[in-house]
Structure 1
Amino acid sequence: MKSAGGWITEFNSLAHKDTQWIKGKRHSFHFREREKMFFKWIVHLAVWFLVQAVTEKCQKGNMSSNTASQVLYGSNITLSCRLTQHERCNKIAIFHNGSDIKSIHGTEISTDISVLDYGRLVFTCKLLCDYTKKLICGIDIESGNPPDQPTNVSCIQFGEDGNPTCRWDKGRFTHINTTYMLQLSNGTDIFSFLEENVNNKYGLLDLRKKLNFESTYTAVVAASNGLGSAFSQPLTFMLIDIVKPRSPTDITVKFDNNSATNCTILWQDQQATQRFRLRYRPITSQQWTMVNWLSTRRYSLHDLKPHTEYEFQVSCRFHPSRGIWSDWSTFQTRTPEAVPVGLLDVWYVMQDIDSQRQTVTLFWKR
C-alpha cells in the first residue's frame, strides 16, 4: 500500500493538471474517461484514510489508535500506549481532556472507548510518578460524519463579461475537514475547481473562467473526507441559461400632449438583450399591472389615473424564451392633473375699491 505522501502527491498532481484546460490532440480525453479517472483518485484517497491506523512516536514512547485519524461519530476505537524509555516509575495512564480514562502498572496500556463528541479529540498517555505526571506521547482524533451528497447545484454569471459562480447545499455538518471540488466539462475539455471559502451550510465557487455561448456544460460537485465521498447529480446548462443581465437604465416617462392618462415609457440598455418586461402600479396599491414579452425599449400606456404617483419597473434578459431576468429598474413620477371637462358652475362677486377700481372674485365648483 502506498504511503500517505504518495497518495496525496498523486492526488494533488492530478488536481493541478485538471486546473488547466486540456488542449490539442495529444492531451485529448473523452469526458467520461477523464471523469472516471478523476473520481477514482478521490475515492482512493478517502479509502486510504479509512484503513490507516494512527501512530505517534515520541521520545519516551509511542501512542496509537486502531483507526484512522478521522472516525465516525459514535464508533468505538482502541487506544494503546507503550513506554519505551526506562523510568523509575512504572504506572501509566491514558487521558482525554485531562480526565483519566484508564491506568495500569506496567509499560503498556490499551483501552476501548466510544467516540461521543464531535470535532478534534486529544488523547494523551502519561507516566504517573508519585504526585507528578510526565507526558509520554499523545494523538489527535477527529470525529465527524461522511459528507452528504451535494444538492441544489446552481450556477449564475452576472453580465456578459462576468465569471460564473456556482453554489450548492452541503447537507449536514461533517465536523471534520472535508474537500469540495467542482468539475466542469464541455464534453471534451475538463476544468476542476477546489472550494476556497469554507462554509458549513453551502459551497460557493467563483470559477474565474470565461465560458462561451456555444457549448453545453456539465457541472458535478465531489465531496470527500476520511470517512467517505459523495457526488452531486450533474447540472447541465448553456451559458445563455445562467447569465443574468444588468438592469436597464435611464427610465423616462413622457406624457402624450400633456395627457393625464396616457404616456410613453422609455429606457436604455447597452447589452445584447432581446426581451423586456414592464410592470407599474399606483404607489398606494400593492397590485402590479404586468406587460410581458416586449422586444423594444419603449411602451405606451393608457388609462392611468390623473394626478397620481406611479411606480414603473423594467427588467430584461438575453434570450427571448430562456435565461435569467435582470433585477428590476425603478422609476417614480406623478401623472398630470386632468383638464376640466363639461360645463362649469361658475359665479363671481364684484366689490368697489374706489370710484375708479373694482375687485372681481371668481368661484367655481369642482
Structure 2
Amino acid sequence: MVGACSLAEVTLILSMLPRSLESCGHIRISTPVVRLGDPVVASCTISPNCSKLDQEPQILWRLENEPNQHGDRQRHLPDGTQESTITLAHLNYTQAFLSCLVPWADSFQILDQAELQAGYPPASPSNLSCLMYLTTNNLVCQWEPGPETHLPTNFILKSFRSRADCQYQKDSIFDCVPEERQSNCSIPRKQLILYQNMVIWVQAKNVLGTSESPKLCLDPMDVVKLEPPTLRAMDISPDMVPRLPGCLWLSWKPWEPSNFMEQECELRYQPELEGANWTLVSHLPSSKDQFKLCGLQRAPVYTLQMRCIRSPLPGLWSSWSPGLQLRPTIKAPIIRLDTWWQKKQLDPGTVGVQLFWKPTPLQEDSGQIQGYLLSWSSSDRHGQDTHLCNTTELSCTFCLPSEAQNVTLVAYNTGGTSLPTPVVFWENKGPAVTRLHAMAQDSDSIWVDWEAPSSLPQGYLIEWGLGPISNYSSKNWRMEPDGNITGILLEDNISPFQLYEITVAPLYPGTVGPSVKVYTYSGERALPHAPELHLKHIGRTWAQLDWVPETPWLGMIPLTHYTIFWTDAHNQSFSIILNISFHGFVLDHLQPASLYHVYLMATSRAGSTNSTGLTLMTMALETSELHIFLAILCILFLFISFCATAWFCCKYSRKNFFWPNVPDPAHSSLSSWVPTIMPEEIFQLPNFWDSGMPPITKITVLEEDKKPTHWDSSESFGTSSLPALVQAYVLQGDSRTISNQFQPHSGTGDQVLYGQVLGSPTSPDIVRYLSCDSTQPLLGAPTPSPKSYENAWFHSRPQETFVPQPPSQEDDCVFGPLFEFPLFQGLQVHGVEE
C-alpha cells in the first residue's frame, strides 16, 4: 500500500514536469530486489538535449524521506551526457524509492525515480501433516510457512504417486495452490488412489530463492480421521438395580461411514465434583453394544465421553464425543433418622404436628436419599397406611386425630427404602437441665454447656435459631444420644454477629424433659457508625447536644461508654467520657462567638467507631450586655479606689484603740492603771483663773432633756476647738498644772487624786464637789461602771453633745475623799489621808 501510494505520487509529480524535462534523466539500478541489508548501486544520466538545464547541472540523490545527498562521483561522458553514480551500502528498507533530482529555481526537481525492495528468501516449510476426511473424501494437508520474508512468496503443495517405499516416482498429481495467506491445501478424492503410497511436499518460492519442506510418504487411508461415536444410556430391568448398586449402564454406536472399519475406542468419565479428574477406560471395541461401569459411589451424576481410531491398521484418533450425563444405580439408604416435633391442639379432635428429622449414615456407602415418605396407620382402616408427606425436605407439617400417638418415616431412592423409623409423640416429663450457659467461640460457632439433671437422661435435644422472633421452620436442631455429655459446640448454620436462641431438653425413655432457653451472640464487631450528633440548644458559653442510640446494634454489640471530643479554633482539644445511659450532654465553659468541632465516639469490646463531625458556633454578646458589663467593672473599680483612699487618709486620724485597755476596778488600784495616751493626744487647756487660785477640777453633769445653753464668746473661743471628750471635762487651774495632769506617770507610788460628787446640778439642793489633786483624767464617756467581766466599750451609749456650764463658786471642790462617786466605789484610793 505504501509503495502504491508512493508510485502514484511519483506519477503525479512526473506528469507535472515541463514537457522539455520528461526525457532529461534516467536511473539504472544494479538489481531492484536485494536481500535486506545488502548494498545497492545506482546511476543517473542526464541527456544533453535538456535545454532547460545548465551545461553541467549538479545531480543529487534522495532515498525515501532521507535528506538529499551527493553521489559517489559525477562525470561528463563523451556524448555530452552527465552521469552520477551512488552506492547504498546497506538497504534497511523492505520497500523504498530512490530519486534523482537537480536544483530548480529555489527548490529541487525530480528527474527520475526507481523502486527498491528488500527481504529474505523463503525458509523451508515445516510440520507438514495430512488427514483423510471420509465425510468429504479429501486429503487435507497443512504446514507451517516459516518466518516472514517481506516479499511476495508462493506456496505450492506438490505430490506424486510412488511404489513401495516412495523411492520411485510413478505419476504426478496436480499441484495444489492454497488461497492467499493460507497454509493448508486439499487434494480431491479423484486425484487419489486409496491404499497406495504417495509423496507429498510443500514448495515456497519468491524472487530471492526457492525452498521445499521435507517429503511425506503416506497412504491416504493411513491418515483417516474418524468422527466420534454416539453415546447413549442403556435401559436395564428394575430387578437388576438392587443387586448392582453404583453402576453405569451405557452403549455406543460408531460413526456410520466408518462401519466397514475395525475400530478401537476409549471411554473417559468424570464425577460432577469440584476438582475431580477424568478417568480413562481403554481398549473398548466399537462393536460392543452395551457396557457396564461399576464401583461409582463418589457422586450422583457422571459425565462420559468416547473417541475411536482404526485398529489394527494405522489411523488417527477421532475427537471426543459430546458429554453424556448418567446417574449410577444406587443401593437403598442405610441410615438412622433422628426426629423431633412440635404439637398444637387445633380443636378437641384434631392436633397439628410439625415434624423435623435428620439422616445419619450408618455406613460409608449408605446410599443416596432421593426423598422421604411419612405415613400413618389407622386402626379403623384395617392397617392401611395413609401417606402424610412425600418430600425431599427435612420437615413436614400435617394434622392427626387427637388419639394418634405415632407415625412412620422412611427414606427412599431408586434402590429401595431404608428401615422404617417409628415416631412416638412423647410427653414432657422428667427434670430439666440446670445452669444452661452459651458463649461464642468465634464468629461461626457457639459453645453450649449445662449441668445434667438429677436423673441421667438417655440423650439431649438441642435447638437453635436466630433470635426469639424467628419462626420454628428456620430453627436448627440436633439430637445427641449420649446422656453423659454436658456441653456441645454448635457449628451448623451459625452466622456471624447474630443473636441466637438456644434450647436444650433432656430425653428420657419414652418421654422428653422440659426445655430450657438461653440467648447469646455469635460474635461481636464494632458499630458500623456511631450515633449521629444533633445540636439541641446553644448559648454564648454552652451548647446542648443529644443523640439517639441505634437500638438494633445495642443488643448485638454491647457498648461500654461514649466519648465526646471537641476542638476550638486554636486546635485545643477537649474530651469527656460518658456512661452508655447518657443520650445527651451540655458543653460548658465555651468562648462566645467561637467555632467548635465536635464528634462522638462509641466504644464496645470490639472497638470504637466515630460519628460524623458536628461544627457549631457559640452566640456573641449583645451590645447592651457588653455596656452593662463594662459599667459594673467601672463601678467596682471606683468603689475599690474610694475605699483605698479613705483607708489611707483616715489611718493617722484614729485616736483611740478599738479595744481599749480598761482594767477591772475591783481587782486593781488606780495607782497601777495608767492608760496609754498617744503623744499627739496631749493638748493644752486654756487658763480660766489666775495663777494664785488653787487648781479646781470642774465636772459638769448634763441631763438629756435639758436644752443646752450657749457659752459666751470668750468661753466658746477657749473650748470650741477641743475634742468632744475633753469638752465634757474642763479643768480649771494653772496651765502648767493642767498640762502636767496628762503626762503619764510611772511606778505605783505616784498619787492619783479624784474629786467627789456631792450633789446633782438638777436637784434643788446645793451640789458640792470636793476637789482632789489628781493628774489622771476621767473616762471619756458617761457610761455606767463595768462589771468585773465586762468591757465598758461594748455598752457605750450613743454619743451625746455636752454643753459646758458657766463656772460657779458653789462648784468649788474641797479636799477630801470622794467615796460617794459611783465610778470609784469599791476602789482603794491611796494617799487620801494627806
TM-score tier (shorter): 0.7 to 0.9
Residue among 51, 70, 87 paired with 1:102: 70
Aligned to 2:186: 206
1:143 is displaced (CA, Å) by: 0.6
- CA change 1:198–1:354 in 2 (3 A) is closer
Opposite residue 213 of structure 1, the aligned amino acid is L
Amino acid at match of 1:339: A
2:194 is the alignment partner of 1:194: no
Instruction: Give yes or no for contact 1:348–1:361 (8 Å, CA) kept in 2.
Output: no
Structure-2 separation of matches of 1:234 and 1:66: 37
The range that moved more, 253-262 or 239-248, is 253-262
1:311-326 alignment, distance < 5 Å: 311-326=303-318
Deviation at residue 226 of structure 1 after TM alignment? 1.7
Matches within 5 A, 1:254-333: 254=235, 257-258=240-241, 259-268=244-253, 269-272=255-258, 273-275=261-263, 276-284=265-273, 285-298=276-289, 299-305=291-297, 307-329=299-321, 330-333=323-326
1:182 Cα deviation from its structure 2 partner:
1.4
Q: Using the TM superposition, give the Cα deviation of residue 110 of structure 1 relative to its aligned residue in structure 2, in angstroms.
A: 0.9
Pairs within 5 Å for 1:10-159: 59-67=23-31, 69-84=32-47, 86=50, 87-89=52-54, 90-99=57-66, 100-102=68-70, 107-159=82-134
- With normalisation by structure 1, the TM-score equals 0.72
Contact kept, 8 Å, 2:246 with 2:330, in 1: the verdict is: no
**Are residue 173 (structure 1) and residue 164 (structure 2) matched?**
no
Query: Looking at CA atoms only, which structure, 1 or 2, has the larger radius of gyration?
Result: 2
Cα distance, 1:137–1:301 mapped onto 2, change above 3 Å = same
Following TM superposition, by how much is the alpha carbon of 1:356 offset from its aligned partner in structure 2, in angstroms? 6.0
Task: For 1:228 and 1:290, locate their aligned partners in 2 and report how far apart those are by CA, in whole Å.
Answer: 52
2:330 to 332, 337, 353: 337
- Shift in Å, 1:345: 5.5
Partner of 2:608: none
Listed as ranges, the gaps of 5+ residues in structure 1 are 1-57
Per the TM alignment, residue 333 of structure 1 is displaced from its structure 2 partner at its CA by 2.3
SS at match of 1:164: strand
Greater strand proportion: 1
Query: Kindly tell me: are residues 168 and 306 of structure 1, through their superposed partners in 2, closer, same or farther at Cα, counting changes over 3 Å?
Result: closer
**Contact 2:247–2:330 (8 Å) recurs in 1:** no
How far is 1:355 from its partner?
Answer: 5.8
Letter in 2 for 1:325: W
**Which letter does structure 2 place at the counterpart of 1:244?**
K
Q: Judge conservation of contact 2:224–2:315 (CA < 8 Å) in 1.
A: yes
The Cα shift of 1:347 comes to 8.9
Give the 3 Å change call, closer, same or farther, for CA 113–241 of structure 1 in structure 2: same
In 2, Cα distance between equivalents of 1:83 and 1:205: 52
- The corresponding residue for 2:560 is none
Structure-2 separation of matches of 1:251 and 1:317: 19
C-alpha separation in 1, matches of 2:138 and 2:252: 26
Instruction: Please say if residues 124 and 135 of structure 1, whose CA atoms lie closer than 8 Å, have aligned partners that are also in contact.
Output: yes
Query: Partners in 2 of 1:260 and 1:189 — Cα distance?
Result: 62
| Structure 1 SS opposite 2:138 | coil
> Where does residue 562 of structure 2 map in the other structure?
none
Q: 1:92, 1:125 within 8 Å by CA — same for their partners in 2?
A: yes
Q: Which amino acid aligns with 2:175?
A: S
* Higher relative contact order, chain-length normalized (CA < 8 Å, sep 6+): 1
Kindly state the Cα deviation for residue 238 of structure 1 after the two structures are TM-superposed. 0.9
Distance of 2:188 and 2:234 partners within structure 1: 40
What is the aligned partner in structure 2 of residue 31 from structure 1? none
Any idea what SS the aligned residue of 1:271 has?
A: helix
How far apart in 1 are the matches of 2:295 and 2:124? 54
Bigger Cα displacement from structure 2, 86-95 vs 245-254: 245-254
Give the Cα separation in 1 of the matches to 2:149 and 2:236.
61
| Amino acid aligned to 1:196 | E
What is the RMSD computed on CA atoms of the aligned residues?
3.1
Question: Contact 2:231/2:305 (CA < 8 Å) preserved in 1?
Answer: no
Aligned length: 303
The 3 A distance-change label for structure 1 pair 297 and 161 is farther
Tell me the percent identity.
22
1:362 aligned partner, one-letter code = L
Distance change >3 Å, CA 140–CA 208, structure 1 → 2 = farther
C-alpha offsets along residues 246-288 of structure 1, whole Å, 9 cap, x if unaligned? 2223533546633442233212221224212212222332142
3-state SS in 1 of match to 2:222: helix
Question: How far apart in 1 are the matches of 2:231 and 2:251?
Answer: 8
Q: Contact 2:39/2:91 (CA < 8 Å) preserved in 1?
A: no
Deviation at 1:225, TM superposition (A): 1.6
Amino acid paired to 1:267: W
For structure 2, the residue ranges without an aligned partner over 5 or more in a row are 1-21, 77-81, 163-169, 344-350, 352-399, 412-417, 420-834
